Amino acid sequence: MMKVIKYPKRETWQNLCQRAQIERKTLTSSVADILETVKLKGDRALLDFTEKFDGVALDSLVVQPEEITEAKTKVSTELKEAIVLAKNNIERFHKTQQSNEKKVETIEGVVCWRKSVAIEKVGLYIPGGSAPLFSTILMLAIPARIAGCKEIVLCTPPNAAGSIAPEILFTANLVGVTKIVKVGGAQAIAAMAYGTTSVPRVYKILGPGNQYVTKAKELVQIDGVAIDMPAGPSEVLVLADETAVPEFVAADLLSQAEHGPDSQVILVGTTAEILEKTLRELEKQLAALPRKTIASKALDNSRAILVESLTEGIAFSNEYAPEHLILASENASTVMDAIVNAGSVFLGNYSCESAGDYASGTNHTLPTNGFAKNFSGVSLDSFVKKITFQELTKKGIQNIGPAIELMAAAEGLDAHKNAVTLRLNQVENV
């Protein structure tokens, strides 16, 4: 169960914000070996790793149209409708992120502007395991399609029967994924980074995964493949005051704890009473939870912290920089402007983190492990690159040319200076 810390001094906060650490040297070596093997052997390596790690021998890696057709019949009408509702909300929110930037005349004769251009080929990683995350497909493929990505490749591990969960296939087909591949783990990241016969090489890889997937994403960047963000186990910080509902807070904590034994949940309370009531409710709800063994292990690595006020709680949260921050308070609006480090924020007693995970419209692919201090969650911007343009007229080069000549000369870059001087001479001699 969660360890309780009362009124910790600020000099101890950094230690309280630590996440579980993994043994990096062995992990890096193991993942690097997998990447190199896939690079050399392509599909053969993918098939071998799938048999080794997933326990299934596949004849083909790529999902066929008939498998998608069959999957559609296995998803209930009610779930299809729920997925479509979520899809519509996510589309609505992410379409607001489209923008047409204005041209700016920085000085007479010099016009500059910027254009968003879709990344042509993106790869999406969707974890499988005990809880196939078909909701993550919505979060990644929808903004990719809105951005205009031409190829959207999805990799996800097969089950013991060599198939993919029908919910994943239905959702991927619904939102326009162009290719679905039955491969998981670090080998899937390698396949999308380097390309194989079955898996197209992509320019950017997005999506959550275990420590092997995360390390693989980190390593392929060396070879010029972009990734969405550093990621790790899921986490939530709930800041609760006397107006919070203990049953709700306990449920929110467990909704993250059930993700995996390495997940972390932090409860920050402004009164001893709210901590005590929440922890009692936590035990009660945990006992009835199907994934209670997993959640219990996560809770063992988690903490309940008593602070003096909501303001102090926000200060602690900013130091922790949670993936998800829930302000379980009727007074959330009075302190929300002080939040500077968080992946996604949920305001008030009815804004459960599950809403953001599935259907409110915001994206649930978020920075973890403190990276909310310097990374944003996935958005439309994750699927585009920004290209700048500038156009100078004769008047424009006359207006800024002399300044460029002086600056280039001061840096000792004579060719830069000459590129301007030649143009100025030509303009003056016309």
Active site residues: 323-324
What is the per-residue DSSP string for 241-274? -TTS-HHHHHHHHHHHHTT-TT-EEEEEESSHHH
- How far is the C-alpha of 360 from the C-alpha of 90, rounded, in Å? 7
Give Dmax (Cα) for the chain: 87
Q: φ, ψ for residue 391 (rounded to 5)?
A: -135, 125
Q: Are the CB atoms for 329 and 320 separated by under 8 Å?
A: no
Whose tokens are 């870059």? That residue is: 413
CA distance readout (Å), 404 to 108, 199, 392, 408: 16, 47, 13, 6
For helices 77-95 and 166-174, angle between their N-to-C axes, nearest 10 degrees: 40
| 423: CB partners within 8 A, 6+ apart | 397, 401
- How far is the C-alpha of 430 from the C-alpha of 420, rounded, in Å? 16
Quote the strand ranges of 131-284, DSSP E. 151-156, 179-182, 204-206, 226-227, 235-240, 264-269
- How far is the C-alpha of 309 from the C-alpha of 198, rounded, in Å? 56
